[in-house]
A and B are shown apart, each in its own frame.
Chain A
Amino acid sequence: MTLLVQQLVLGLLIGGVYVAVAIGFSLVWGVLNIVNLAHGGLVIIGAYLTWLLFSAFNVDPFLSIPIVAAALFVIGYVVQRLLINRVIRAPIFFTLLLTFGVNLVIINVLLLLFKSDFRSVTPSYSGSGLSLGGVQLPYIRVAGLAVALLLAGAVALFLARSRIGGAIQAVGADRDAAQLVGVDLRHVYALTFGIGAACAGVAGGLISTAQAITPSAGEPYTLQAFVVVILGGLGRVSATVVGGLLFGVVETLAQTMVPGLGAGWANAIAFAILVVVLAVRPRGLMGRPV
């Protein structure tokens, strides 16, 4: 019983990372209609920046989150403005291809800069945690979940209250009508992609504290973000939170409680969830009707 509770809690905590990974992915998909295959690459840039700040200047990984997010925002804004905006009205195949290419460029630049060595961020408190009634709560994971939920709240509040947030949602709902009220599409596209990249950066920071990173370590996160968005439903931050946490729990339980499955089955489990959701409820748990 304690084992089950332990795995449930661990799944929720790990789900925090998935929430962080998927928020930006979902925003970009929902508003720009881009399935961003470079999302995992952006996540890993965030992880490397966190590692760089930690190893060179000894900055705590959680304190460097705002810096990393700001840097990724700038990268995302520029990539969208100069590159993706050129094919934004083309069929989705073109943006898929382009973001796939961007991802390759990111991985290879990271390889040039950092080699393929494993890097990890290990602040003094990594490895320690809290014990509540026999259930272990690693500090890193608890803080990660807290950061992810804060990020989700901040993005939701920004979309609901700010002027730019309104413009972003207007563009997501109807591009032409948004232009007619005076929204500059090129700018709002770039802002949206920048915010998506900033969220990816935050996720990368969390990931750098939980696992060793290499230039290609972001690959699985694009798939996981995709599954989380399908699971929760497109178009709402709250749906991403539910999808991310649930995905963390299902994955953890499947890997630890089902005999014969282990860590090597992560992708298979993700795909299985994807297939089941698409077959049973294509719009996701909380998505709007298609």
Chain B
Amino acid sequence: MRSTRRECGEPVAEPLLQVRQLTAGFGAGPVLFEVDLDFYAGELVALIGANGAGKSTLLGVLSGLLPASSGSVHFAGRDLTNARPERVVAAGLAHVPQGRRLFAGLSVERNLRLGAYVRRDREIGADLDKVLDYFPALKDKLQRSAGTLSGGEQQMVAIGRGLMARPKLLMIDEPSLGLAPKVVDRVIEVAQTINRDGTSILLVEQDVLVALEAADRGYVLENGRVALSGTATELESNPEIRKAYLGI
């Protein structure tokens, strides 16, 4: 059951990303169960949950790295269920993977330019300047090998590389991983600025407080299912969340 019926003449408020009954997993059984998710243009949505809840798997399925066994993914009016990754990026859905995953031997500039690999337009240079405006610390490190940067700088390059695809929606997986709190704040701040400038952001975080403070809305993933969803304020004041994730 891969196909869902496409309704014609839908109202204007169609979600940018619509995930329906998405189930995925490998070998030992599903990791994601019937996940439903709606994402509207312009939002900054947090996807939170414990380690192993299926957050990274969900992003992997959305970006085409991992197969979905059933359910559907629609993005910007296209059916991207089990689409190849290059089609997903080209459609405007970019994924900044957990652990940065930079091209270590290549220069920072090459890494950033590779982010625009699917593009053929002439504004790639201008977008590179834009990325450097978001992350001025990278300006004098463009020719450095990406593997030699600090963790925070590598995260900046990873986000910048995602931005270079000029996505409608940027999915950022665990940007805080292994970074000092000050650096995390800086990265999240930039993510909010990018969001205000018009790029929708799906922020995956284990650090629930950080994620909810930045986001408009949130989804809580537990054992591969959506356990809760709501506005960031609702979730922050939810007693279960406070107990389970905030330790309050």
Q: Is A180 part of the binding interface, using a Cβ–Cβ cutoff of 8 Å?
A: yes
Q: Is A133 part of the binding interface, using a Cβ–Cβ cutoff of 8 Å?
A: no
Binary contact readout B99-121 vs A (1 if CB under 8 angstroms, 0 otherwise): 00111111000100111011000
Judge whether A181 and B105 touch: CB under 8 Å.
no
Minimal beta-carbon separation of A152 from chain B (angstroms): 18
Judge whether A170 and B118 touch: CB under 8 Å.
no
Give the dominant DSSP class at A's interface.
helix
Indicate the member of A169, A177, A180 with the most B CB atoms within 10 Å: A180
Minimum CB distance partner of A165 in chain B: B110
Considering the chains assembled together, what is the distance between the CA atoms of A168 and B97 in angstroms?
Answer: 20
Minimal beta-carbon separation of B56 from chain A (angstroms): 12
Q: Is B165 part of the binding interface, using a Cβ–Cβ cutoff of 8 Å?
A: yes
Q: Is B95 part of the binding interface, using a Cβ–Cβ cutoff of 8 Å?
A: yes
Q: Is A179 part of the binding interface, using a Cβ–Cβ cutoff of 8 Å?
A: yes
Judge whether B64 and A181 touch: CB under 8 Å.
no
Task: Collect the chain B residues with CB atoms within 8 Å of residue A217's CB.
Answer: none
Q: Which residues of A contact B (CB under 8 A)?
A: 163, 166-167, 169-170, 173-174, 176-184, 235, 288
Judge whether A235 and B103 touch: CB under 8 Å.
no
Task: Collect the chain B residues with CB atoms within 8 Å of residue A235's CB.
Answer: 105
Binary contact readout B212-248 vs A (1 if CB under 8 angstroms, 0 otherwise): 0000000000000000000000000000000000000
Contact of A170 among B64, B84, B106 (CB under 8 A): B106
Judge whether A184 and B84 touch: CB under 8 Å.
yes
Minimum CB distance partner of B95 in chain A: A180
Q: Is B61 part of the binding interface, using a Cβ–Cβ cutoff of 8 Å?
A: no
Q: Is B152 part of the binding interface, using a Cβ–Cβ cutoff of 8 Å?
A: no
B-side interface residues, number (CB < 8 Å): 25
Minimum CB distance partner of A288 in chain B: B105
23 A–B contacts, CB within 8 A, in A order: A166-B113, A169-B110, A170-B103, A173-B104, A173-B105, A174-B102, A177-B97, A177-B101, A178-B103, A179-B64, A179-B85, A180-B63, A180-B94, A180-B95, A180-B97, A181-B115, A181-B117, A181-B165, A182-B85, A182-B118, A182-B165, A184-B84, A184-B86
Q: Which residues of B contact A (CB under 8 A)?
A: 63-65, 84-86, 89-90, 94-95, 97, 101-106, 110, 113-115, 117-118, 161, 165
Task: Collect the chain A residues with CB atoms within 8 Å of residue B104's CB.
Answer: 173-174
Task: Collect the chain B residues with CB atoms within 8 Å of residue A183's CB.
Answer: 86, 117
Considering the chains assembled together, what is the distance between the CA atoms of A176 and B99 in angstroms?
Answer: 12
Task: Collect the chain B residues with CB atoms within 8 Å of residue A174's CB.
Answer: 101-104
Judge whether B118 and A180 touch: CB under 8 Å.
no
Beyond A166-B117, A167-B117, A182-B118, whether A177 also contacts B86 by CB under 8 A is: no
Beyond A177-B97, A182-B118, whether A169 also contacts B103 by CB under 8 A is: yes
Contact of A182 among B90, B97, B102 (CB under 8 A): B90
Task: Collect the chain B residues with CB atoms within 8 Å of residue A177's CB.
Answer: 97, 101-103
The 5 closest A-B CB pairs, nearest first, are A182-B118, A177-B101, A182-B89, A173-B103, A179-B85
Considering the chains assembled together, what is the distance between the CA atoms of A166 and B65 in angstroms?
Answer: 20
Task: Collect the chain B residues with CB atoms within 8 Å of residue A178's CB.
Answer: 103, 114
Judge whether A167 and B114 touch: CB under 8 Å.
yes
Task: Collect the chain A residues with CB atoms within 8 Å of residue B84's CB.
Answer: 184
Task: Collect the chain A residues with CB atoms within 8 Å of residue B85's CB.
Answer: 179-180, 182
Considering the chains assembled together, what is the distance between the CA atoms of A11 and B8 in angstroms?
Answer: 74
Indicate the member of B63, B101, B161 with the most A CB atoms within 10 Å: B101
Minimal beta-carbon separation of B29 from chain A (angstroms): 22
Minimal beta-carbon separation of A14 from chain B (angstroms): 31
